[in-house]
Amino acid sequence: MASRTDASQKTDPLEELAHRFAATRRLSLDLVATLSDADASAQSMPDASPAKWHLAHTTWFFETFVLRDHLPGYRLFDSRYPFLFNSYYEAEGPRHARPQRGLLTRPSLEEACIWRAHVDAALQTALPDLPPAALALVELGIHHEQQHQELLLTDLKHLFAQNPLGPAVWEEGAIASEVAQISADSGQGALLWIKGADGVIPVGDAGGGFAFDCEGPRHDALLTPHALASRPVSNGEWREFIADGGYRTPSLWLSDGWAWVQAEDVEVPAYWRDGQMFTLAGWRDIDPAAPVTHISFFEADAFATWAGARLPTEFEWEAAAAPLDPLGGQQLDTAGPVQPRAASGDTDLQQMFGSVWEWTGSAYRPYPGFRAAPGAVGEYNGKFMSGQFVLRGGSCATPRGHCRASYRNFFYPHQRWQFTGVRLAKDL
Amino acid sequence: MASRTDASQKTDPLEELAHRFAATRRLSLDLVATLSDADASAQSMPDASPAKWHLAHTTWFFETFVLRDHLPGYRLFDSRYPFLFNSYYEAEGPRHARPQRGLLTRPSLEEACIWRAHVDAALQTALPDLPPAALALVELGIHHEQQHQELLLTDLKHLFAQNPLGPAVWEEGAIASEVAQISADSGQGALLWIKGADGVIPVGDAGGGFAFDCEGPRHDALLTPHALASRPVSNGEWREFIADGGYRTPSLWLSDGWAWVQAEDVEVPAYWRDGQMFTLAGWRDIDPAAPVTHISFFEADAFATWAGARLPTEFEWEAAAAPLDPLGGQQLDTAGPVQPRAASGDTDLQQMFGSVWEWTGSAYRPYPGFRAAPGAVGEYNGKFMSGQFVLRGGSCATPRGHCRASYRNFFYPHQRWQFTGVRLAKDL
Amino acid sequence: MASRTDASQKTDPLEELAHRFAATRRLSLDLVATLSDADASAQSMPDASPAKWHLAHTTWFFETFVLRDHLPGYRLFDSRYPFLFNSYYEAEGPRHARPQRGLLTRPSLEEACIWRAHVDAALQTALPDLPPAALALVELGIHHEQQHQELLLTDLKHLFAQNPLGPAVWEEGAIASEVAQISADSGQGALLWIKGADGVIPVGDAGGGFAFDCEGPRHDALLTPHALASRPVSNGEWREFIADGGYRTPSLWLSDGWAWVQAEDVEVPAYWRDGQMFTLAGWRDIDPAAPVTHISFFEADAFATWAGARLPTEFEWEAAAAPLDPLGGQQLDTAGPVQPRAASGDTDLQQMFGSVWEWTGSAYRPYPGFRAAPGAVGEYNGKFMSGQFVLRGGSCATPRGHCRASYRNFFYPHQRWQFTGVRLAKDL
Amino acid sequence: MASRTDASQKTDPLEELAHRFAATRRLSLDLVATLSDADASAQSMPDASPAKWHLAHTTWFFETFVLRDHLPGYRLFDSRYPFLFNSYYEAEGPRHARPQRGLLTRPSLEEACIWRAHVDAALQTALPDLPPAALALVELGIHHEQQHQELLLTDLKHLFAQNPLGPAVWEEGAIASEVAQISADSGQGALLWIKGADGVIPVGDAGGGFAFDCEGPRHDALLTPHALASRPVSNGEWREFIADGGYRTPSLWLSDGWAWVQAEDVEVPAYWRDGQMFTLAGWRDIDPAAPVTHISFFEADAFATWAGARLPTEFEWEAAAAPLDPLGGQQLDTAGPVQPRAASGDTDLQQMFGSVWEWTGSAYRPYPGFRAAPGAVGEYNGKFMSGQFVLRGGSCATPRGHCRASYRNFFYPHQRWQFTGVRLAKDL
């Protein structure tokens, strides 16, 4: 990341914030550059949202919590938009039903972009005079938009995968460097076990930079002796699980997982079909050396049971990741058809950051002493703390700079349209 | 209709067919002229289809049943399209699931239009040499496309009505002549009772022109003494029904209808809200003198019970309509925001053709001696002959020239997104 | 029927009514004689009701419409029962939800029988002094109870069929004369075509005896030249349909029927499994010569299409049945495990009454001039006149004396837990 | 517990096991003594089972895992029963669908009891010669049956509550000592905060007695400074929550909880209506001083948020309970209409054992080093470790002797038909 090496030149925090705001907003537009108005407006399932909606919702966040709340005299660009583009903030009043988002053919993609430009300009103008509380919300809004960039990519992937034509979001030319190259040496490195630290270990956000509320308070965790796999499980290993009847053996599965497998006729990871997998560049061969992705928690857990291992806890993962560079690994730098690639084959911990989100065995619950922030932005994380599991480390679709060792992502155990994978752990 | 007055000049049937083919194909394009790619691609409910899908499906019909089957050496424009754009023809193989049509953001609206142009050119070129069986299929395809023109309009209306912004398919300027002008004299003509013929009456297609298979065979029907209302029930009369508790009185309703009212919380016709109604030109005041529309069979039947009347049978309607001009009345001539207008106030039967489809009390079942045509086009009508009711007379959204006295439309008793209305009947 | 041979002795209509009331009430008790409290209380699907509920609901009918409404000073046996045992009479106020009937373990079967005895005694005592309107309701109540006797049997059959133990409602000894004897001569008579009357034919209730309101008014129907099969379709013929891929050939099916076949994975008639069929006496071999039963309208229609025939209209059936004895055939005389038997092999119309209800091609709609009776009993028939098809002729489970030529039964086209079958018709 | 005071006399472990086996089996029969066959056979929701099913399933457990697996030559009482009465043990083969349990009117309650007697006799006869592994399964079976005794009571309560007659499982006489006496002093003791231990604390089964696999391995947990409420939240306090709009304030609720409140129209705890609550003795007044019960995790969590507190973790609870007598408190000793009563008003921790199960904030997940037992009984606990939350301490319906400090019960966060309550905790 250039922004690190030349940090000495970006001494003005306000300028730096303005720069990151602009860069983040620009990347969102880059991500939709190849889309038609229809591509950007369709919704393929209630869990997903149209690309246009992501563009608009992130704009709503800045307009509402920064401009409306902190810029005296600011008038909403369109007073009807908050109803349409509020996601789940109860404190902000009623809102459009989530499963109906694909019916909003108006405003158009172009109109949404005009709104974006208006808000961007207003915010950049206002920035120098904003109070610290508003600047913190700009910072929050940048990280919020980065989350939506990843969702935008995974939602697009889901939408395009429903089309029998199997269209690519990005065409051939763009792919070479990113998607599904079969690993040159036809195999990933051997999976090694790396011993982790045990005993009382401090975890959680240590301050000194941006973090979401759910990453704190920092506190001690007690780790038992254990080891982590040196890299995530690969597609080739997953095929062994399939060949061994993994999807047909109830004793490997959690009860809810087995019910899900049967109800949904699950036999392979999402987007696998006939020996190929669907990517943002269309249908591609499966690289046996690349990390398996688009698996649910239930699948990750069943695989671990089959392998005689278990999932790591979120703190085992965090303790191992703490000394590593969160800016490393395969993460999102520019718009394009991202897909996880094989690990390098080194013998230490690989692909902790980027590549695939790693399911942990930890339920997503509050840390000791957690209190949600007051007001609407307090609805950001705390209210989702039931029924979901923590994932760690970011993926190839996570904007570089967004993730860190204390970062907690969370999804329901059956969900698998994100770039989710699994790293094994075992007791020592 | 000009085409009638100068019929003497259109002596060549082939030329006339080519002319009607071109005009029909052009009207479909006119109907989508104001739409964005997103507007044309979204699907608001499983019963409805995207506008783009209608454009493509009607093209598939001509390409499959005329060009593929009757033009030696014809190659499909795109071999993947039949899977996408077959609607329900089992004999034509598997097809894309109906509720997923809104996820086909590719091919784009523009690509669909290119396909249209290709097929149109090929068909026009081939026309002079086509055998009679193929010409009959061109004729069938024209009528088929007219049906889809009406569905395209009603599906668009449904889609745009879901948008909280209440956008218009056609903007203000277009509306003056068509939509929701409050009747100048603030009231429709009085409802009169017109005695119908009774005894044995021949009904069904008498030959001599195009008709769908379900309109025949021509046969005798036995009518009992009865009268028909001179015009459809108006919005003003419907408001009396509402004010009298019509939607809250179970004794007025069929059992299935009452279950529907309760399950769906039905209190007004579709598209009514806060004293206004949604039209293809956006939200408009309700004209009390205009025919009520967007009502289900259940509502029509309950209203008739409330009014001490009943629905006409399909043959009572047909006997009354037989001497009337099927080209008269408010029907679709050009693209625009159609909406039924008040009757003229004459004292004879009014608005039998056009304005609103009239629910009859007749279940949609085969006529004596009916046999579906062999092959795929035989799936056109016969297989729908259970659970639906017959509607007669066409609507303001029916392309002029499409309807006739023997024409049988059919929908399920709860459906009401078509321009459906009701004309009362009573026993004498 | 003894009641016929000694009719001369039953000259007093009141005495005759008292006699029939007692006999009907007794038969209901006979039908549940072998049931446990649990057997009588369970509900196997929303369409079905517990046996105990049938006993109680028919009692509610007499207590409400006769005793409460016509016996001054009568006090309800238990004021909480009307809420529990009203079926669908909106005019009688709110009522227990139908799908919850199986949760009413109290009152017990014994308590329900005590209520029955109480109401029976009160009604018999009151009978001599009841006004004609009340006597008409007693008559209606008898016919109402006979309908519930048939439902009680078919609901029990459905319940017991859900039990993997396959228990019999009636044990072996009872079966010899009724169930599933393989026909001695291993084959039904050949199916012959019997020409029916055509032209204008009077149909509907001619008066002179009890009839439900929906059987009238008597009116003329116009029949086209046709023939009816001499007997219903047999199990052996149905096996040919299956062997010929009948259940896998979409072109044979109505569209709604094909959707039902696919959604429910229908491959055989209800209660068929592994070459056997479930009966009220448990699992039995299938007699190829006996009429097929437990088929839906959709199946009946598909079979007719496969056979190059069609279903009869309800008036074709009625015209043919009018001269026949409605007391003949295999109908319910005493409690026991009824099941349709093979036809005798005569060459005229056989099994028109009894054996199996015959699906007609006629939608259940009102006759010309039909008006439902005022008040609660007016909800009896008219409000069900949408979406259902007419069946004619009664079955082996219909109490003898209940059916007649003008009798109209009706069910939805997918329902098949009644003793439903099919007689073919064809155009001449 | 007599068994404690005279423990010196029960020196033979085998005799003691035989004694407890007999007593446990007898209590199950006592619990159904007042039920009719119908009461015992009905199923009110998929989560619940008929009482008869509980009697049969617990018998299946002993017959299968003890007699079949460890008694050479034992023949199953009825080879069809395992299919019917296996609950969820995949390794034991296919089984009857859970939601269909209420349709098994056969075998009858009496037949189920005959099976019980047969298995009891066989097991008592075999007991002296059984190998240790089989004796361990007898022990497991006893604890298993105790769990089903509690479920039997709560399932019965749910069933009877569905009946509009509001019948009592036990009649008036039985109630005086147990149900819903309004507390004499019209108020519970003040809620006090009791400081808990913090730092590293050993938790989990310490060995030396029976425990389920999920209670181990024993391990260290790290507790932060905190306090627990001296007693569970009372009905009176819950009414304040309701009065303050607790059920209408989204900011108090987890997101999934708020969705549940809206979907189910939740406004009060289960079984509350019109100021009364349904009990096993019928409808009763609500004692404001008694612990609130039949609340979901979602409600417990929302209440804690409203109260400015939080739920305890399962280890905070366990650390506080470890020194207390698990045989104390209001637990199930004999058959009767149990209902939690007000706390005594002492100033230390009250009602930790018995009264109501206490929701904790801990997701039900495996302890470090947990491995499920091999074979079918290994399906007992481990496979349910996703999506559920831990409850601690037993309830008034838990057989005395069944619970202990390390005991982990678990339910989904929306479930509330158990005797569930909530004890608050707070950070210090």
- List, for residues B215-246, the tens digit of each pLDDT value: 999 999 999 999 999 999 999 999 999 999 99
Query: Cβ–Cβ of D386/A258 closer than 8 Å?
Result: no
Residue ranges of chain B assigned to CATH 3.90.1580.10: 172-427
Which CATH number describes the domain made up of A172-427?
3.90.1580.10
Average pLDDT, chain D: 93
Return the pLDDT at A375: 73
List chain B residues with CB under 8 Å of A38: 36-38, 40-42, 105, 108-109
Write the CA distances from D137 to D16, D17, D91, integer angstroms. 15, 11, 16
Confidence of residue C280 (pLDDT cuts 50, 70, 90): very high
| Residue of B198, B224, B251, B389 to mutate, testing the C interface (most C Cβ within 10 Å of its Cβ) | B251
List chain A residues with CB under 8 Å of D88: 255
- List, for residues D13-64, the tens digit of each pLDDT value: 999 999 999 999 999 999 999 999 999 999 999 999 999 999 999 999 999 9
- List, for residues C221-243, the tens digit of each pLDDT value: 999 999 999 999 999 999 999 99
Query: Cβ–Cβ of C224/B221 closer than 8 Å?
Result: no
Q: Note whether C106 contacts D: Cβ–Cβ < 8 A.
A: yes
H-run or E-run covering B229? strand B226-229
Confidence of residue C1 (pLDDT cuts 50, 70, 90): very low
| Residue of D36, D53, D78, D98 to mutate, testing the C interface (most C Cβ within 10 Å of its Cβ) | D36
DSSP D143-168: HHHHHHHHHHHHHHHHHHHHSTT---
- List, for residues D229-279, the tens digit of each pLDDT value: 999 999 999 999 999 999 999 999 999 999 999 999 999 999 999 999 999
Both tokens of residue D398? 């838990």
Q: Note whether C224 contacts B: Cβ–Cβ < 8 A.
A: yes
Return the pLDDT at A183: 52
**Tens of pLDDT, residue by residue, chain A (428 residues):** 334 444 455 579 999 999 999 999 999 999 999 999 999 999 999 999 999 999 999 999 999 999 999 999 999 999 999 999 998 888 888 899 999 999 999 999 999 999 999 999 999 999 999 999 999 999 999 999 999 999 999 999 999 999 999 999 998 654 444 444 455 444 567 899 999 999 999 999 999 999 999 999 999 999 999 999 999 999 999 999 999 999 999 999 999 999 999 999 999 999 999 999 999 999 999 999 999 999 999 999 999 999 999 999 999 999 999 999 999 999 999 999 999 999 877 779 999 999 999 999 999 999 999 988 777 777 788 999 999 999 999 999 999 999 999 999 999 999 999 999 999 999 99
Residue B181 has pLDDT above 80, yes or no: no
Cα of D316 vs its chain's centroid, Å: 20
Query: Cβ–Cβ of C386/B257 closer than 8 Å?
Result: yes
- Torsion region of D272: left, alpha or beta (phi above 0 gives left; psi -120 to 50 gives alpha): beta
Of C235, C258, C239, the residue nearest C248 (C-alpha): C258
Query: Cβ–Cβ of A163/B104 closer than 8 Å?
Result: yes
Q: Note whether A235 contacts B: Cβ–Cβ < 8 A.
A: no
Q: Note whether A10 contacts B: Cβ–Cβ < 8 A.
A: no
Length of chain B: 428
Q: How far apart are CA B370 and CA B215, in angstroms?
A: 9
Instruction: Show which of residues 346-365 on chain B sit within 8 Å of chain C, judged by CB atoms.
Output: 361-363, 365
Query: Cβ–Cβ of A413/D251 closer than 8 Å?
Result: no
Query: Cβ–Cβ of B365/C369 closer than 8 Å?
Result: no
- The radius of gyration of chain C's CA atoms, rounded to the nearest angstrom, is 21
List chain B residues with CB under 8 Å of A84: 164-165
Residue D401 has pLDDT above 50, yes or no: yes
Q: Among B345-359, D144-158, D373-387, whose mean pLDDT is lowest? A: D373-387
H-run or E-run covering A391? strand A389-392
Query: Cβ–Cβ of D220/A222 closer than 8 Å?
Result: yes
Residue D166 has pLDDT above 60, yes or no: yes
Query: Cβ–Cβ of C164/D107 closer than 8 Å?
Result: no
For A106, which of B96, B108, B167 is closest by C-beta distance? Answer: B167
Residue B188 has pLDDT above 80, yes or no: no
List chain C residues with CB under 8 Å of B257: 386
Return the pLDDT at C188: 61
Query: Cβ–Cβ of A251/D219 closer than 8 Å?
Result: no
Query: Cβ–Cβ of B383/C298 closer than 8 Å?
Result: no
Indicate the residue type of C245. Answer: G
How does C89-104 read in b/e, with b if 16+ C-beta sit within 10 Å? bbebeebbeeeebbbb
Q: Among B78-82, B86-90, D174-178, D222-226, whose mean pLDDT is lowest? A: D174-178
From A312, which residue of chain D is nearest by alpha-carbon distance?
D368
Query: Cβ–Cβ of A361/D366 closer than 8 Å?
Result: yes
Return the pLDDT at A188: 61
Residue ranges of chain A assigned to CATH 1.20.120: 12-161
Contact B209, B411 (CB under 8 A): no
Q: Note whether D42 contacts C: Cβ–Cβ < 8 A.
A: yes
Residue with tokens 């002008």: B181
- List, for residues C98-119, the tens digit of each pLDDT value: 999 999 999 999 999 999 999 9
Q: Note whether A167 contacts B: Cβ–Cβ < 8 A.
A: yes
Q: How far apart are CA A286 and CA C15, in angstroms?
A: 86
Q: Which residues contact A315 (CB under 8 A, 6 or more apart)?
A: A201, A203, A221, A223, A362
Confidence of residue B153 (pLDDT cuts 50, 70, 90): very high
Q: What percent of chain B has pLDDT over 70?
A: 94
- Neighbours of D, requiring at least 3 CB pairs below 8 Å, are A, C
From C161, which residue of chain D is nearest by alpha-carbon distance?
D103
Q: What percent of chain C has pLDDT over 90?
A: 86
Residue B334 has pLDDT above 50, yes or no: yes
Confidence of residue C416 (pLDDT cuts 50, 70, 90): very high
Query: Cβ–Cβ of D384/A254 closer than 8 Å?
Result: yes
Cα within 13 Å of Cα(B169), Cβ side: 27
- Does domain A12-161 bear CATH number 1.20.120? yes
Q: Which residues contact D79 (CB under 8 A, 6 or more apart)?
A: none
Query: Cβ–Cβ of A109/B38 closer than 8 Å?
Result: yes
Return the pLDDT at C174: 47
Q: Which residues contact A286 (CB under 8 A, 6 or more apart)?
A: A180, A235, A272, A275, A276, A277
Confidence of residue B3 (pLDDT cuts 50, 70, 90): very low
Residue D120 has pLDDT above 60, yes or no: yes
Return the pLDDT at A362: 98
Both tokens of residue A366? 């509050």
From C37, which residue of chain D is nearest by alpha-carbon distance?
D38
Q: Among A98-102, B340-344, D28-32, D122-126, whose mean pLDDT is lowest? A: B340-344
Query: Cβ–Cβ of C41/D40 closer than 8 Å?
Result: no
Is the reported ipTM for this assembly greater than 0.85? yes
Indicate the residue type of D58. Answer: T
Of D417, D428, D427, D424, the residue nearest D360 (C-alpha): D424
Return the pLDDT at A91: 86
Average pLDDT over residues C342-371: 94
Return the pLDDT at A174: 47
Contact C55, C28 (CB under 8 A): yes
Query: Cβ–Cβ of B106/A164 closer than 8 Å?
Result: no
Average pLDDT over residues B299-320: 98
Phi, psi (degrees; rounded to nearest 5) at D357? -65, 135
pTM to 2 decimals?
0.95
Q: What percent of chain D has pLDDT over 90?
A: 87
For A100, which of B84, B96, B162 is closest by C-beta distance? Answer: B162
Residue B353 has pLDDT above 60, yes or no: yes
Q: Note whether C82 contacts D: Cβ–Cβ < 8 A.
A: no
Query: Cβ–Cβ of A413/D379 closer than 8 Å?
Result: no
Q: Which residues contact B363 (CB under 8 A, 6 or more apart)?
A: B388, B389, B390, C363, C365
List chain A residues with CB under 8 Å of D257: 386
Return the pLDDT at C78: 97
Return the pLDDT at C93: 86
- Neighbours of C, requiring at least 3 CB pairs below 8 Å, are B, D
Q: Give D357→chain C minimum CA distance, Å.
A: 27
Chains D and A touch (3+ CB pairs under 8 A): yes
Q: Note whether D90 contacts A: Cβ–Cβ < 8 A.
A: yes
H-run or E-run covering D235? helix D235-243
